[in-house]
Amino acid sequence: MWLDRWSLDSPRLRRTAWLSGLAAVAAVAGFHVLYYFPRAVDDMYIFLRYAANLAHGDGLVYNPGERVEGFSSPVWVLLLALGELLGTGGLGWAKLLALGAVAALFVGIYRFARERLALGAPAALLACAFSALDSYLVSWSLWGLETPLFLALMLWTAVLLGRVADGGATRRTTLAGGAVAGLFALSRPEAPLFLAALGAAALLEPLRLPAVRERLRRLWLPGAVALALFLAWLLFRRTYYGLWWPHTYYAKQLTGFHWSHLAPLWSQGAGGLERIFVWGGLALAALLAVRRRTLVPLLVALAAGWFTATAFLDWMPNVRHLLPLYVVLPFGWAWAAERAAAWRRNDATGWCARAPGRAAAAAAVLVLLGAGLGIARTDARYSLYDFHTHGGEHRWILRKTWAKWIDTWLCLRRIAPPHVRAMDAFDMGMITQLYRLLEADARPLAETWYVGRDIGRVGWLAEARVFDTDGLFTPAVVQDAEWRRRRDPSPELVRRALDRPVVMTELMTPWDLWAREDPELRRRYRPWWPGDWGLLTPREARVPSPEQILERYRRAAARMPQAFYTMTLYGEAVGAALQKRLEFVRQAALDNEQPVVGAAPAGLPGSGVTLESVAQFRGCTVEPETAAPGQELRVTCWFLVLGGTEQRLRVFLHFDHTEGRAYRFQADHEPAAGFSSTDRWRPGETVRDVSRVIVPPDAPAGPFRLFTGLFDGDRRLRGYPASTLDPDGRVPGPGVRVEPK
């Protein structure tokens, strides 16, 4: 009978259910991985630069010639360097490594549940299902750092050491366990702490003296292998970098135990079911230890809590330091669900005998998957450091939205998303940091310096040397007494940072305040924008040619993946922004190949208006004179420099409808696309500014007139004679007619 084949105890039904569950978990994990795949955290680019320098023979350094261990995982940086040697390195290779590590992590979750907890396949899949839903885990696994490798090695170390400790393991398995444990110890700075927890668990399960002695005899060989690998790296670090501890220890020192660092477990965006999951999971982990099933979840949870509570409160969205805890807690819930489902009352028969157990099992599944679904809705969960700047008051959670899914899908297809298409070509989000460096000075980038923070992407896309004001790979910062005491720089440190061939900075307070107050630095540097002493560039900087700037952009764009557009960890499509900037610079370089010219054509509309003491406006032309909505206009303006200025002024172009329609389209920009900024104008020269303006698709038909001038922020430069200006103080220019759609 076909009913017999599909009874609850039939192998066919169990196999079908297992395959269906596996497919569901794989689908959820795959969909979640796609959402975060294009994104990258800025520190990933620091790893990429270390790996590239190692592969190209410059050593395991960030700035050639400076030996400092500014990365958190020797294993990850060596794997990235392998990609460089194979010719497939860079961000794409990092993503492939991440996918491999994620796959190993999920297999490790399943194997740990099956081997160390003796759970059935459905319960093991239940633990995998939570991890597939866990935005914290999946996001950090795809953001480009060593996180998925660290977590995968943690679970596989537990699995392999458990096999060895139980007896019957081959010598090959024993050596493999030692090698995996050794790699795990080198996967994160806190990994040795977790390795000690895993070793203790393997040794003490069960806690009986004869059994402990036997397990110690079995575990000495893998322990020796792991210790040998770890000591080898310590000796290399001491010989090569001159330190026993990693440099990140000095940049982010332990500060003593602080319960407040664990607040994400019970507040700061934690949902109700998530809290039940965490605290109930800790209780179940303790119960697993008491019942002598496994010590791993309890000891790993304790290690994660201790490290998070004692480490300096790092910028760590999505509870990064607590991820090991979120990986092991589902095991307790899966075990509880399986035990409850198998429980039956001896004083009842039939359905009533199993009903209470099945209800308890359903409750455990509800907590686990309900908490997972709640976390799955989260795009990013902010930390204390970005709570005020990103999350807004009382908002710790950035939810996934349909618009962000669309952005991600477009980036995966290498199509610029709407927020990039709407970007001003002179204000491009995170890429602005890079393009200021590329356009700052004509000297070879490799001979110059950039001083600032959040510099991973800048250092990867440009060859300039970098002084990191957060000290991640800059020993001068962590050696400064004032910085060690209050994490603020001393005036001497600021002077040391800028006593280099620095061509661009992005200084945060109080770095910018010390720079403003130092007479020597004021003599050597000027603000990129008036009054902004965070963005500095040398007063004697040599202007790069348009061709030189264009070549720099081409090289930067070539380092980005060509299969998809890269995004920041919060979803800004920086890869698309860089491509847009490249296309803008390519066109602008052709239009403004020689921005400084001999003279302007005579008789142009608006010619002769003096813009304060800076320049005399010599008129504009607009081509073509008639255009359709969506068509491009080529606007050329000329300025005769009078006294010049140290300010970085911008040109405004306003196209106003002249037949009573309240409609305007405009294009504000730096002169000659920034190739001839006003702070570099010299008295007596004539500057030609060519820009391209798109007529908006919704522009009404009819005549428009161009109005122009120079401005700084909210202030327009006054023009003389005033009789030649419109009531808003703008210089009237030529007209253009927009045809009907």
Q: What is the mean pLDDT of residues 332-340?
A: 91
Q: Are strands 525-527 and 536-538 parallel, antiparallel or unpaired?
A: antiparallel
Task: Confirm if 566 and 38 have CB atoms less than 8 A apart.
Answer: yes
37-63 b/e (C-beta count within 10 Å ≥ 16 → b): bbbbbbbbbbbbbbbbbbbeeeebbbb
Residues 519 and 626 in one domain: no
In a domain, 395, yes or no: no
Q: What is the mean pLDDT of residues 74-103?
A: 94
Task: Confirm if 642 and 616 have CB atoms less than 8 A apart.
Answer: yes
pLDDT at 351 over 80: no
In a domain, 446, yes or no: yes
- The dihedral of CA 141, 142, 146, 149: what is its sign? positive
In a domain, 574, yes or no: no
Largest CA distance in the chain: 106
Length of the chain: 741
pLDDT at 115 over 80: yes
pLDDT at 2 over 50: no
Give me the DSSP letters along 372-396. Answer: HHHHHTEEEE--HHHIIIII-TT--
Residues 6 or more apart whose Cβ sits within 8 Å of residue 499 = none
Q: Three-state SS for 647?
A: coil
CA–CA distance, 729 with 348 (Å, rounded to integer): 92
504: β partners: 450
Write out the residue range of the structural domain in which residue 526 sits.
440-540
Average per-residue pLDDT in the chain?
89
Residues 529 and 602 in one domain: no
Q: Which helix (H) or strand (E) holds 389?
A: none
Percentages (nearest 5) of helix, strand, coil residues in the chain: 55, 15, 35
Residues 356 and 456 in one domain: no
* Per-residue confidence (pLDDT) for residue 389, from 0 to 100: 56
Residues 628 and 715 in one domain: yes
Task: Confirm if 55 and 79 have CB atoms less than 8 A apart.
Answer: no
How many other C-beta atoms lie within 10 A of the C-beta of residue 698?
10
In a domain, 567, yes or no: no
pLDDT at 149 over 50: yes
pLDDT at 391 over 70: no
Residues 6 or more apart whose Cβ sits within 8 Å of residue 183 = 75, 153, 229
Q: Three-state SS for 99?
A: helix
The pLDDT tens digits for 510-537 are 999 999 999 999 999 988 887 888 999 9
pLDDT confidence tier of residue 3, bands split at 50, 70 and 90: very low
Residues 284 and 174 in one domain: yes
Percent of the chain with pLDDT over 90: 65
Nearest CA-CA partner of 156 in 180, 130, 185:
180
* Per-residue confidence (pLDDT) for residue 250, from 0 to 100: 81
Q: Three-state SS for 494?
A: helix
- Helical ranges in 599-684 per DSSP H: none
Residues 643 and 512 in one domain: no
Q: What is the mean pLDDT of residues 8-37?
A: 82
CA–CA distance, 661 with 739 (Å, rounded to integer): 15
CATH of the domain at 692: 2.60.40.770
* Per-residue confidence (pLDDT) for residue 714, from 0 to 100: 83
Domains contained in the chain, number: 3
CA–CA distance, 47 with 266 (Å, rounded to integer): 33
Nearest CA-CA partner of 289 in 208, 197, 201:
201
pLDDT confidence tier of residue 566, bands split at 50, 70 and 90: very high
Residues 337 and 198 in one domain: yes
Q: What is the mean pLDDT of residues 427-433?
A: 83
Q: Three-state SS for 527?
A: strand
Residues 625 and 529 in one domain: no
Q: Which helix (H) or strand (E) holds 177?
A: helix 171-185
pLDDT confidence tier of residue 417, bands split at 50, 70 and 90: very high
Task: Confirm if 733 and 652 have CB atoms less than 8 A apart.
Answer: no
Nearest CA-CA partner of 579 in 595, 594, 566:
566
In a domain, 399, yes or no: no
Residue with tokens 């950039």: 450
Residues 536 and 673 in one domain: no
The pLDDT tens digits for 262-315 are 889 988 889 899 999 999 999 999 999 988 778 999 999 999 999 999 887 667
CA atoms within 13 A on the CB side of 144: 25
0.85 exceeded by pTM: yes
Give me the DSSP letters along 544-555. Answer: PPHHHHHHHHHH
Task: Confirm if 693 and 584 have CB atoms less than 8 A apart.
Answer: no
Residues 369 and 493 in one domain: no
Task: Confirm if 160 and 182 have CB atoms less than 8 A apart.
Answer: no
Last residue of a domain, one of 540, 559, 580: 540
Dihedral (Cα; 637, 741, 696, 626), 10-degree rounding? 0
Q: Please give the structure tokens belonging to residue 673.
A: 């696309």
In a domain, 643, yes or no: yes
pLDDT at 388 over 70: no
Residues 322 and 463 in one domain: no
State how far the alpha carbon of 474 is from the alpha carbons of 46, 347, 467, 633, in Å.
12, 71, 6, 48
Residues 317 and 206 in one domain: yes
CA–CA distance, 107 with 95 (Å, rounded to integer): 18
Q: What is the mean pLDDT of residues 614-631?
A: 94
- Helical ranges in 525-596 per DSSP H: 546-559, 574-591
Q: Please give the structure tokens belonging to residue 632.
A: 């491009």
In a domain, 485, yes or no: yes
In a domain, 426, yes or no: no
Nearest CA-CA partner of 626 in 708, 701, 733:
701
CA–CA distance, 196 with 565 (Å, rounded to integer): 41
654: β partners: 666, 707
Q: Torsions phi, psi of 411, nearest 5?
A: -65, -40
Q: Letter for the amino acid at 41?
A: V
